Amino acid sequence: MESAWVNTTLDLNVNPFFHTNQAPKREADGKMADFEVKSPIKQEIGILVEELNRVSAENKKLTEMLTALCEHYATLQKQYEELVSKNTETGSSKKRKAECEDYSTAVIGFTTNAESSCSIENSCKKPKECINGKISRACVRADPCDNSLIVRDGYQWRKYGQKVTRDNPSPRAYFKCSFAPSCPVKKKVQRSAEDPSILVATYEGEHNHTHHSPSALSSLSPVNSGAATANNSRSARVSSSSSAPAVTVDLTKPAGSDDDTKKPTQKVDQPAIQQILVQQIAASLTRDPNFTAALAAAISGKVVDQKL
DNA sequence: CGCATTTGACCTGCGC
DNA sequence: GCGCAGGTCAAATGCG
């Protein structure tokens, strides 16, 4: 992932003759008398210098926007890695404290733990529950006014309990998967203590049935679709693309250095305006918290699938 | 009437 | 051993 930066190369053709049809021709006709072109050339140079300054300023602005984008991405990635490393840590004997800390820090994103079962709640579970203990966590942005602890993830859940925990004023709801009678998966949903608009869903176990609930998927609310709606298997990717407009972000291109933007580019077939458009879209997307949350969920879901 | 949700009681594990 | 806190059960309740 480290190398998956956005290409920062801007195809801003600052060739002085780019915007003038006459100049190259005159250059080709190089033997033209000085007195014939002196005055128009001066005027033209002034215009071109002005144009160059404008483009340079725009270039600088775009570079800054792109830097912000990359920093934002790096921050998200760092957050994700911290969460993963935290979940893979072993040895915290004080399970309840550890769990509490997890809730307070896992504000955005989706974490899972496929290899080391029960690491999040390693010491709290009965041994028999740890055998199938694949634990994952999803954070879903929800309306703070909505008291229902419902996380729509495509599965059918049956609520079997609710409890107010010590470290969080909002109650914790307990769900069992009712899609299949023998499905052992359980889900705990609780609002984040720090941000009541975020629902933290913790999944335990693996579904022993296929996930096909179109009605449930189609009912994913816009509130959820923009945030990280996910569970421990496939629905993370499905939900993130179910109702939101399709946005394809290519992060596979290597990043260009700052110097790259200053180099004159050989490519003239790609209009600069398209590049600017792309940059502006990227910048606006990174300012959208829903998009960043969805991106985090999508990345997490990808990692989960690779682990499976 | 059947199913899902609510909610108080009970069970279990952990720390002191 | 006791108390605390999280997790689960099951009767009561609500809703379509």
pLDDT above 70 coverage of chain A, percent? 31
**Residue A65: its pLDDT value, please?**
77
pLDDT tens, position by position, A94-145:
334 334 434 333 334 444 444 333 333 333 333 333 434 567 777 777 666 6
Residue nearest to nucleotide B12 (CA to C1'): A126
Confidence of residue A297 (pLDDT cuts 50, 70, 90): low
**Residue A182 pLDDT > 50, yes or no?**
yes
Residue nearest to nucleotide C8 (CA to C1'): A161
A96 is near strand C: CB distance < 7 Å: yes
**Residue A51 pLDDT > 60, yes or no?**
yes
| Mean pLDDT calculated for residue range A65-86 | 67
Give the nucleotide with minimal C1' distance to the Cα of A172: C6
Spatial distance from the CA of A107 to the C1' of C2 (Å):
36
Residue nearest to nucleotide B3 (CA to C1'): A158
The residue that leads in pLDDT, A305 or A211, is: A211
**Residue A289: its pLDDT value, please?**
56
Give the CATH number of domain A135-204; options: 3.90.226.10, 3.40.1190.20, 2.20.25.80, 2.60.34.10: 2.20.25.80
| Mean pLDDT calculated for residue range A192-200 | 79
**Residue A155: its pLDDT value, please?**
79
Q: Which residues pair with A172 in a beta bridge?
A: A163, A190
Q: Which nucleotides of B are covered by protein (CB under 7 A)?
A: 4-9, 12-15
Give the nucleotide with minimal C1' distance to the Cα of A161: C8
Give the nucleotide with minimal C1' distance to the Cα of A164: C6
A187 is near strand C: CB distance < 7 Å: no
Spatial distance from the CA of A127 to the C1' of C15 (Å):
39
Domain boundaries, chain A: 135-204
Spatial distance from the CA of A129 to the C1' of B10 (Å):
20
Residues 238-277 of chain A with CB under 7 A from strand C are none
Highest-pLDDT range among A72-76, A85-89, A244-248: A72-76
**Residue A7 pLDDT > 80, yes or no?**
no
Cβ pair A296, A228 in contact under 8 A: yes
Give the nucleotide with minimal C1' distance to the Cα of A156: B4
A161 is near strand C: CB distance < 7 Å: yes
- For every residue of chain A, which 3-state class applies, written as one string? CCCCCCCCCCCCCCCCCCCCCHHHHHHHCCCCCHHHHHHHHHHHHHHHHHHHHHHHHHHHHHHHHHHHHHHHHHHHHHHHHHHHHHHHCCCCCCHHHHHHHHHHHCCCCEEEECCCCCCCCCCCCCHHHHHCCCEEEEEEECCCCCCCCCCCCCCCEEEEEEEECCCCCCEEEEEEECCCCCCCCEEEEEECCCCCCEEEEEEECCCCCCCCCHHHHHCCCHHHHCCCCCCCCCHHHHHHCCCCCCCCCCCCCCCCCHHHHHCCCCCCCCCHHHHHHHHHHHHHHHHCHHHHHHHHHHHHHHHHHHHC
Q: Which nucleotides of C are covered by protein (CB under 7 A)?
A: 4-10
**Residue A299: its pLDDT value, please?**
54
pLDDT tens, position by position, A206-216:
777 765 444 43
The residue that leads in pLDDT, A198 or A264, is: A198
